[in-house]
Chains A and B, each alone.
Chain A
């Protein structure tokens, strides 16, 4: 039984909206991190080499997206795709949620774009001046690696969300909009985007990724049923909202519980 049989109209809208919001937020966070690295290289080293490294990374990312997307669609039947992609998305999203919960509870340091910018800039100033084909090798490699690694997370989210929801163009559009916003704001400010409430966004994205991951992974278990069709959720895709609320409530409860533990005074050891 397909999950969307009941409440298709409302379910599709909620699913697509969730898809767009999740991809935009996740991509925005990654673009902010990539922007910090690119800005540090551009300011301290050489903009031409930095932009060349960024462009090279974007070409690799586009290639990976097309090849991986085509392979996944060709090789996997729908329910198996939901299971594999849903499980990957769930585990990947739990990384985000775990870190956000630990940061909110005060058990992990917050991400500091200003500090990262200073570190990258200091490393760039101290590096050698080797040039390759007229380009500054250090600026090229660091910006290439930074954009590639942060971009891979965006590609992963675009592909997993897009393929499972059957709407890669919408997912890609969400990432592109986020990229355009971050680049525009960054170009105007010309400094690290440190005022972005990164942990709050990561917490929200973590909840969205784990919600959709849970929904699709469980749906995909239908591949083991005699007919091999996706498992049905009660209420169809409206169940996504219930799962979302459950993850949100649990994550807030975890933050509360862990924060209390941090605040508890350490008992002196018995003599």
Chain B
């Protein structure tokens, strides 16, 4: 059990690192994107740049907010 916790913690630190808010923001944008893709609400050509812009915006806000703390 202790090995599994250590293993999970290692990979969490490795991929996510110090600021989990940035990772959470990216996952939330992609989750919203998955819903939009599944429902076919927007064309690919609109959705792809829109999602990229949303990811950049979320990361920017998280980074600035994180730097304030």
* Interface positions of A (Cβ within 8 A of B): 1, 83, 87-88, 90-92, 94-95, 98, 101-102, 105, 107, 152-153, 156, 210, 214-215, 217-219, 221-222, 224-226, 231-234, 239, 242-243, 246-247, 250, 254, 257-258, 261
Partner of B67, one of A87, A105, A233, A234: A105
Q: Which residues of B contact A225 (CB under 8 A)?
A: 37-38, 40
22 inter-chain pairs at a CB distance below 8 angstroms, sorted by A residue, are A87-B26, A87-B27, A90-B26, A92-B14, A94-B59, A95-B15, A98-B18, A98-B19, A215-B52, A218-B52, A221-B30, A224-B34, A224-B37, A225-B37, A231-B48, A232-B45, A232-B48, A233-B49, A239-B49, A246-B52, A250-B60, A254-B63
**How many pairs of residues, A versus B, come closer than 8 Å at their CB atoms?**
97
Contact A247 B56 (CB under 8 A): yes
Please indicate the chain A residues that have their CB under 8 angstroms from the CB of B14 in the complex.
92, 152-153, 156
Instruction: List the interface of chain B (C-beta within 8 A of A).
Output: 14-19, 22-23, 26-27, 30, 33-34, 37-38, 40, 44-45, 47-49, 51-53, 55-56, 59-60, 63-64, 66-67
Bound-state CA distance A246–B50 (Å) is 13
